[in-house]
Structure 1
Amino acid sequence: MLEGAQKVPSPKLDLFIRKRFLTPEECAEIVARIDAKRRPSEIADDLGYAAYRTSETCDLDGADPVVAALNERICAYMGIDPAFGEPIQGQRYAVGQEFKQHTDYFEPDGPDYARYCTVSGQRTWTAMIYLNDPAAGGATRFKVIDKIVQPETGKIVAWNNRRADGTPNPATLHAAMKVRSGVKYVITKWFRERPWG
């Protein structure tokens, strides 16, 4: 699992980074798809704070051969059966856009927990890939371990949203920092405890 990745040295969470997981050409193909179908991003357990997440999102079409091949590759790399994966999502951040501190798991006592977790269970792993290098800003900050990951075309970042005992890990708290110049594109794939859908 996670061949060629560097594990971030922290006892608080399992976080892996690998450069050049995708080629610039592969990234460009996905960027074009995100641009074609992007919409304002949404948020689970909405706190009613409009500026909390200001990016745009695209639900990538799993029937698209390019997306299907990418999905297979991510699942193989993660060593997780594709049945446990959510569809791949693309995100676009323009200048000034961000996603403030959040975790990818659903809060067990949050208002949307039952809605999102009844069928497939909690999120387990997150795999995120940067599709380009914005001119400035756009890093991902893991506050609890004081780790900042800079965006770099083709770089994959993966982390386990759970502790060793299977409970949600608050040390995975992270933020997509504001893009200061240029545009940032990423894709995210989340995995669940039980088969998706």
Structure 2
Amino acid sequence: MSNAQTVTPELRRWIVEQAQAGHPPQSVLQAMLASGWREDVAIEALEATLEQHLDADAVQRGLPPAVPVPEPDLAESPLHLDAGDRRVHVLNAMFNPRVVVFGNLLSADECEALIEAAKPRLARSLTVETRTGGQEVNDDRTSSGMFFTRGEFDVVRRIEERIAKLVNWPVENGEGLQILHYRPGAEYKPHYDYFDPAEPGTPTILKRGGQRVATLVMYLREPEKGGGTTFPDIHMEVAPVRGNAVFFSYERPHPTTRTLHGGAPVIAGEKWIATKWLREREFS
């Protein structure tokens, strides 16, 4: 074996064969280390090969191909991440699906500034109407809301730049911040954020920056009870704590991403959130 330890096609085929035989990744990694592979090379080869194999298998089964997605730098399991002007806490991280709960993403002053700026422009929340590419009132969504344009004022611009650094995705690939207000009883039933490729209106929507590939829900004001962000497929609920946020990505527009999520009904008090959707390409 050379000092450079080149990852060969033969090694990749062997990794795939082990996966097909039912051997878990950790045992495959241990076998590679026992054979003399450096740990960093072995991990990189294992992750890349299995990712390619799984994607090829998915496409063969008729799923849309996977695309690159935003990704916080969690390789070394950090407790905090540098978001440029703010130190953000990593409270919880799940790999599959990729769900990360952040703490201290927003200050109390930033939360209140977004709420106050949004109040005069609130209207009944709409959902994307993928049959036509437009928007519609949907009984599944009972909040009120509005959108800021990207970089509309200083607080918005600062938060957008912070998000871009936090998840390693260009500012220009983000939609404008959406502010939502939930009163007692208001909810958003479980749904996906990507645009369904089977719907006739989706090609029109995708002209403005491609598919959505990730979502960041930020909590601006917390209710007394209820209002959590739920992920039914993985039996997870994120508490809507002011200043915190939940991030999740989806590499293909398909339920296999397990990113079904919703806003549980507010039981007491009021909930305010800001949502940032990230696209494949520049959003215009």
Instruction: Output the TM-score relative to the length of structure 1.
Output: 0.90
Q: Which has the higher helix share?
A: 2
Aligned residues: 192
Q: Secondary structure at the match of 1:8?
A: strand
Same amino acid, percent of matched pairs: 29
Q: 1:44–1:112: 8 Å Cα contact kept in structure 2? A: no
Q: 1:148 aligns with which of 234, 237, 242?
A: 237
Q: Aligned equivalents of 1:82 and 1:107: distance in 2?
A: 24
Q: 1:86–1:190: 8 Å Cα contact kept in structure 2? A: yes
Q: 2:130–2:202: 8 Å Cα contact kept in structure 1? A: no
- Displacement over 6 Å in runs of 4+: 46-49
Q: Aligned equivalents of 1:155 and 1:169: distance in 2?
A: 27
Deviations 1:59-114 (A, max 9, x none): 12432112111111111212111111111111111111111110110111123312
Q: Which residue of 2 aligns with 1:28?
A: 112
Mark the runs of 5 or more structure 1 residues left unpaired by the alignment: none
Q: Which residue of 1 aligns with 2:148?
A: 60
Q: Aligned equivalents of 1:91 and 1:46: distance in 2?
A: 21
Q: Which residue of 2 aligns with 1:84?
A: 173
Q: Which residue of 2 aligns with 1:172?
A: 259
Q: 2:272 aligns with which of 174, 179, 185?
A: 185
Q: 2:130–2:196: 8 Å Cα contact kept in structure 1? A: no
Q: Which residue of 1 aligns with 2:93?
A: 8
Pair member with larger Rg: 2
Q: Aligned equivalents of 1:55 and 1:112: distance in 2?
A: 24
Change (3 A) 1:46 1:99: farther
Kindly report the root-mean-square deviation, in angstroms, between the aligned alpha carbons of the 2 structures.
Answer: 1.9
Q: Which residue of 2 aligns with 1:99?
A: 188
- Cα shift at 1:45: 3.2
Q: Aligned equivalents of 2:172 and 2:110: distance in 1?
A: 24
What code does the residue aligned with 1:173 have?
Answer: L
Instruction: Output the TM-score relative to the length of structure 2.
Output: 0.63
What code does the residue aligned with 1:181 have?
Answer: A
Q: Which residue of 2 aligns with 1:114?
A: 203
